[in-house]
Amino acid sequence: MEIGRRDILLGSAALLLAPGGSACAATDRPLGYAIVGLGYYGLNVIIPQFVNCTHSRLAAVVSGDRAKAQRVAREHGLSDKAIYSYADFDTIRDNPDVDIVYVCLPNGMHAEYTIRAARAGKHVLCEKPMAISVAECEAMIAACRKADRKLMIGYRCHFEAHNLEAMRLARSGAAGKIRYVRSEHGFVQRDPTKWRLKRALSGGGSLMDMGIYSLQAARYMTGEEPVAVTARESTDRRDPRFTEVEDMIDWTLEFPSGAMAGCLSMYSANQNRILLMGDTGRIELEPATRYDGNEMWTGKDGRERKIVPPPGPAKTQFAGQLDHMAQSVRRGQEPIVSGEEGLRDMRIVEAIYRSAREGRTIRL
């Protein structure tokens, strides 16, 4: 990753962007978001965060369930004109209250609604993973570029205080020369009917979900881009949960400096941990990437000192993410986690799957 872009992030300057030529720059009003998808994440995690935002507000909802959409609209003071179905979504182009569309749909629907939003003249914040293939990611970037709209991917940990401080410590040499990162993320996915276990909607199993956290951590903790990947999969195909997608994937990344990262994703056990080891010490986060309650330690060879990070520039990581996108639009700058960042991850994800399938190291 480019150090200049990381310095902006680590300096908590992401929300203090230089003025640009955006059409929204003429007013200080909070920019309006349309939330596409009223599943658990969109409804229970993202929408409640607007009360913590300075530059963002809820302006519309998009759902296939009209009754649910009406209930949510009433609860948040929106009129029926702010309610859209998936069928009439394209008419959102006529709503000047909506500046940004936040796509909170299953992975397999990200590309379609990002492209439709861009064509409707709206900026896009899309959940991770960006899409289910490199080709889809490239199409999303092209559509937003053609429409002159911003595209950001929902990498919330780039706005989470513990992860920000861990990055800063790693860059400052707190652990010495970085030699190894271990990043493990997983949870027990019990219900075989969930969309995450359906390939058409998810694009894959744990790698396309929890594996994104492991991959991102390896990249933002080292500050490097991997040059090779070696992966292996372990899945019990007799388990009804895993008839279409993988359970556990373990992979090793090699970096130009000689550092390595061991990463893991799984749907059959709970884990949430990032560990960086340098030649003089270590930085450990466990839990590392939860919505709240993350903890961090440093030490020579153990948890010798607990680290309480300084407050971030926003009340919560979610509010930071929402406001950063709004300010990127207003100031005419690229988000720190743009579509290109999502594309980089997807290229590595495809290489991980290929390595596991072919049983060999893939050069990147």
Please state, as a whole number, how many other Cβ atoms lie within 10 Å of the Cβ of residue 93: 14
How do strand 282-285 and strand 228-234 relate by DSSP bridges?
unpaired
Cα end-to-end span (Å), the chain: 14
Cβ–Cβ < 8 Å for 248, 235: yes
Instruction: For residue 128, indicate whether it is catalytic.
Output: yes
Peptide bond into 106 cis (omega under 30): no
Query: What is the Cα Rg of the chain in Å?
Result: 20
Lookup: tokens for 96: 């000047």
SS3 call for 351:
helix
Identify the active-site residue in 102, 113, 122, 128. Answer: 128
113 given a catalytic annotation: no
Bond prior to 287 in cis (omega within 30° of 0): yes
Q: Which among 220, 207, 216, 204 has a CA at the least distance from the CA of 165?
A: 220
Alpha helices, H only, the chain: 3-10, 40, 66-75, 110-119, 134-146, 161-172, 199-202, 210-222, 317-331, 339-358
The pair of structure tokens assigned to 79 is 């009129």
Catalytic residue among 213, 220, 267, 353: 213
Which residues have a catalytic role annotated?
128, 213
